[in-house]
Structure 1
Amino acid sequence: MLALPGPAAAQGPAALNDYPTLARADYIFGCLAVNGQTRDSMTRCACSIDTIASILPYDDYVAGETVLSLRQAGGERTAIFRGTAPATEAVANLRRAQAEAEILCF
């Protein structure tokens, strides 16, 4: 079995547990759908969400995911999520955390 310690492991249990289990499971299921449903992928996907959790507070993760989700919808009502500074910053922070997780875990 491949063990990939992420930065969260070095920060202690509090850093590992501020994301709800449901959010972690949802991330891992999505990650497995993209990367193949193997034991190795599950280990890497778990490492990935642990790394993201060590970089980004849960509220910031939710903000970034929400903006990305709303950007997929069309229409004038979602325009605020495309061009405003807070929305752009939330997505940028999430993307940076995801990039770090990609480097460390995959």
Structure 2
Amino acid sequence: MSFAAAIGLVSTLAAGSAIAQDAGVRAMADRLNDYPTAARADYVFGCMAANGQDQKSLRNCSCSIDVIASILPYEKYEEAETVLSLQQASGERMSAFKTMNMATTIVADLRRAQAEAEMLCF
């Protein structure tokens, strides 16, 4: 293989690596930004209602949902929110959501993400 061919091969491999790395970065960014704006805003409003209606709370609560989003994909967050709302309902049919192993695991994942967010943001 000639020197020019070797340089061409290295350039091609480097370009392929850069494209793959760029695609990986885009995939990570998409995963971290998969929460709809309305869901983020809803979380921040609820968080501020519990922690105060000032700029500090706004920053802390915004940080909190960003940390949660970095840990938990939106699909899992949405499942946990659904289970939590079903757990608040009364009745025999809803009691399954309070004791079902899958439901408690889903909520536990959200609680762990919230705990991490609280440690980092508040």
Q: Under TM normalisation by the shorter chain, which class is it? A: 0.7 to 0.9
Q: Does 1:24 align with 2:40?
A: yes
CA distance in 2, matches of 1:93, 1:13: 21
Flag as ranges the 4+ runs of structure 1 deviating above 6 A.
none
Q: CA RMSD in A?
A: 1.4
- Counting helix residues as a fraction of each chain, which structure ranks higher? 2
Alignment of 1:79-94 (within 5 A): 79-94=95-110
The equivalent of 2:121 in structure 1 is: 105
Count of aligned residue pairs for this structure pair: 96
The equivalent of 1:36 in structure 2 is: 52
CA distance in 2, matches of 1:19, 1:98: 15
Q: Which structure is larger by alpha-carbon Rg, 1 or 2?
A: 2
**Gapped regions of structure 1 (runs ≥ 5):** 1-10
* SS of corresponding position for 2:114: helix
2:69 is matched by which residue type in structure 1?
A
2:85 is matched by which residue type in structure 1?
S
Deviation readout 1:21-80 (Å, 9 max, x if unpaired):
000000000011011011111000000000000000111101111111111111111012
CA distance in 2, matches of 1:63, 1:83: 16
- Give percent identity, aligned residues only: 62
**Gapped regions of structure 2 (runs ≥ 5):** 1-26
